[in-house]
Amino acid sequence: MKNPYLPLPMKLVKNFTETEDKLIHTFTLQYLSEEDEKSFSYMPGQFAEVCVFGKGEAPFGIASSPTEPGFLKFSVAKVGVVSTALHLMEEGTIVGVRGPLGNYYPVEEFKGKNVVIIGGGFAFTTLRSLATYMLHPDRRGDYGDITVIYGARNPGLLLYKEELAAWEKSPDINLITTIDRAVDGWTGRVGFIPAVTEEVAPSSDNAYAIICGPPVMIKFTMPVLEKLGFPPERIIMSLENRMKCGIGMCGRCNVGGKYVCKDGPVFTRAQLNELPNEY
Amino acid sequence: MIVSKKEIPSFLDKLISDYQVFAPVQKGSYTLFKQICSGTDAVLDGGITKLPVKEIFFPQSEKLFSYNVTNEGAKLEAPVDDRKKVVFGVRPCDARSLTLLDNVFNNDKYQDPYYLTRRNNTILVGIGCNSPASTCFCTSVNGGPFDTKGLDLLLVDTGDAYVVEPVSDKGKELAEKAGFAAASDADKAAAAKVKEEAVVSCRVNTDGLKAKLDVNFYDPIWDRIHEKCLGCGACTYLCPTCHCFDIVDDAVDCNGCRVRNWDSCAFPLFTLHGSGHNPRSTNKERYRNRIMHKFKYFVDNFNEIACVGCGRCIKNCPVNMDIRVVLEDIRGSEARLDS
Ligand SMILES: Cc1cc2nc3c(=O)[nH]c(=O)nc-3n(C[C@H](O)[C@H](O)[C@H](O)COP(=O)(O)OP(=O)(O)OC[C@H]3O[C@@H](n4cnc5c(N)ncnc54)[C@H](O)[C@@H]3O)c2cc1C
Ligand code: SF4
Ligand code: SF4
Ligand code: FES
């Protein structure tokens, strides 16, 4: 019987301050052996319980893509015990990773389709994984147009500047970045995600929309997607209920009879429409 | 088969040399399941134990693994308890509860090695209930005072002796090894009579309850029904089918262990997000979740009600919330589909 509570020890090799306000750090973790790497096979959208020994564990979306071998990446907001301990951690320290957990974005269904990725704030983590996965030269041909609409309060709060710069130049992806209020030197758009999505008006023909962000952003973007003609079956969301076990046993993360950890975190709007609004 | 009550202590003493034996023991005014060192410690006529039998398989606090971490790596040790156990004197409702918990700890994707190893190595010897308490309602939730679900052996109290009814192969083997005498026709008739006369007088009508819960999530009845509840969580800790837990570290620097502790959906922190958002922010949502989980979600997922009618939550609630009354109340409520 495989013990689902045992973490894989990994080495934290980079503790990078991702945002200007210093509240988000991105951690690069390296496997300790090739065997360990083989044992951790994941897909974009999955998450893991990351533990700081002595402090505890907390769930984080995997921000790296399976097409990036050798390491895992997590971008973590400092909110409590485990996330703060991670932020303070020295490079070279051993942490634990339990997973991969949960389901993933339906990348098989996306084949031959246009894909519109909409992200707000620091919820962009697994969307980075997804975009990186689809943009891999071996896979890019499987998908139609890839559009990314990504917004933050100000430029300093956007994650993954390097990737954004590369995507900006790439013909393989249509990247639209937006900030809430104009600042000097900003060349992207200005405005909230729902309004920008309406302006960009990505076609819903043969397309999927994937949306992650704070509840208010989701609430106001949903009607825009509906207006654009995205049916609920082709709107994909990822939930972030509080979790502990990650394996459908501790009872914490349920939305109706579904456990977000085991049956999600990725759901279609159509699936969520059938569930009570406890998320 | 039959065993006289006088022989029980020596039977248990013999078991103790081969198994860890658990039985109800007296603790002040109530009984609890404890590992016993002597057959005379078992208290078999004390009714239902204060805490359910689940704690033997899923302890209130349990070490998942210990660790020793350096910059080179982590040494993890996860001792899984595979000692052979006999639990003696389990009531039928508690035995049933374990068959329900099995669905959780052995779900469609993951197996919990701690719980399942204990389950696989344990023989459950039950005692039927000759005089069910006023708070018992097992027969309303698919159980009964002599129900054998989950048991390996059932004992029926006929006064001076127990008539022993094998349920599983494991149970039969244990009884045969013990060398119990064969039950006479008169003994069997006495057992049948006891069963017939044991009446669970309380009947909760659950007809249509599930259909109602399917559609009444947004019904105003939930605004009212939870009002008396303090959210203390006592009912969840004492409930044989509640399985919520938390996982925490107990350590000095990098040497320590990861521990799981019972937790409760009655507590606001249970679901509080790091962002401050809470999907079940008031007692209304939390009480609704407890009822929905037992009588709708569990039924949707596993086709069984996650309540065995043991009555512990009724007996122990500080403000006398009575789940039977709550269920009847809900059954009478109007359907409401939208928020
Ligand atoms: C599937 C999934 C993916 C996620 N992905 C990411 C991600 O990529 N990046 C990211 O940053 N986050 C992510 N999260 C959120 C992340 O899991 C939480 O921020 C994290 O669990 C916080 O852990 P912590 O130990 O730092 O905070 P905790 O110490 O658990 O505290 C969190 C908050 O809970 C409250 N709290 C906890 N205990 C108490 C108490 N005793 N008294 C009062 N208040 C208390 C406080 O408000 C505190 O701010 C994800 C969550 C899920 C479920
Ligand atoms: S024991 Fe009573 S007061 Fe406490 S949480 Fe349960 S129903 Fe509410
Ligand atoms: S809900 Fe109450 S009566 Fe039902 S199994 Fe739990 S404690 Fe017993
Ligand atoms: S996190 Fe434990 S059930 Fe989902």
pLDDT tens per residue, range B150-197: 999 999 999 999 999 999 999 999 999 999 999 999 999 999 999 999
Give chain A as a DSSP string: ---TTPPEEEEEEEEEE-STTS-EEEEEEEESSHHHHHH----TT-EEEEEETTTEEEEEE--S-TTSTTEEEEEEE--SHHHHHHHTPPTT-EEEEEEEES----TTTTTTSEEEEEEEGGGGHHHHHHHHHHHSTTTGGGSS-EEEEEEESSGGG-S-HHHHHHHHH-TT-EEEEEESS--TT--SEES-HHHHHHHH----TTEEEEEES-HHHHHHHHHHHHHTT--GGGEEEE-----SSSSS-S--SEETTEEHHHH-SEEEHHHHHTS-S--
pTM of the model: 0.93
Q: Using the mean position of ligand 1's atoms as its centre, give its distance from the Cα of residue A80 in Å.
A: 6
Average pLDDT (B133-148) is 94
pLDDT at A132 over 90: yes
Residues 259-288 of B with CB under 8 A from A: 260, 263, 265, 270-275, 277, 279-280, 285
Contact assessment for residue B46 and residue B210, using Cβ atoms and an 8 Å cutoff: no
| Cα–Cα distance, A233 to B19 (Å, whole number) | 55
pLDDT at B95 over 90: yes
Residues 223-262 of B with CB under 8 A from A: 242-249, 251-254, 256, 258, 260
Summarised one tens digit per residue, pLDDT across range A176-222 is 999 999 999 999 999 999 999 999 999 999 999 999 998 889 999 99
Whether chain B has a CB inside 8 Å of the CB on A35: the answer is no
For chain B, the domains span 2-197, 209-331
Whether chain B has a CB inside 8 Å of the CB on A126: the answer is no
Q: Is A182 exposed, middle or buried (0-12, 13-18, 19+ CB in 10 A)?
A: exposed
pLDDT given for residue B334 in this prediction = 56
Tell me the one-letter amino acid at B273. H
Q: Count Cβ atoms below 10 Å from residue B177 Cβ, excluding itself.
A: 11
Q: Using the mean position of ligand 2's atoms as its centre, give its distance from the Cα of residue B237 in Å.
A: 10
Summarised one tens digit per residue, pLDDT across range B269-322 is 999 988 888 999 999 999 999 999 999 999 999 999 999 999 999 999 999 999
Any atom of ligand 2 within 6 Å of the Cβ of B230: yes
From atom 3 of ligand 4, which residue's Cα is the shortest distance away? A248
Question: What are the structural domains, with CATH classification, of chain A?
Answer: 8-101 (2.40.30.10), 107-238 (3.40.50.80)
Q: What sign has the CA pseudo-torsion A27, A28, A29, A35?
A: positive
From atom 6 of ligand 2, which residue's Cα is the shortest distance away? B235
Among B134, B145, B155, B130, residue whose Cα is nearest residue B42: B155
From atom 2 of ligand 2, which residue's Cα is the shortest distance away? B317
Whether chain A has a CB inside 8 Å of the CB on B16: the answer is no
Q: What sign has the CA pseudo-torsion B94, B96, B97, B102?
A: positive
Average pLDDT, chain A: 95
Q: Using the mean position of ligand 1's atoms as its centre, give its distance from the Cα of residue B148 in Å.
A: 44
| Cα–Cα distance, A42 to A37 (Å, whole number) | 10
Contact assessment for residue B249 and residue B63, using Cβ atoms and an 8 Å cutoff: no
pLDDT given for residue B274 in this prediction = 80
Residues 24-63 of B with CB under 8 A from A: none
List the structure tokens of B163.
Answer: 């008539």
Q: Who's near B339: CB < 8 A, 6+ residues apart?
A: A277, B218
Any atom of ligand 4 within 6 Å of the Cβ of A156: no
Sheet-wide strand order for B74-77: B74-77, B61-69, B255-262, B245-252
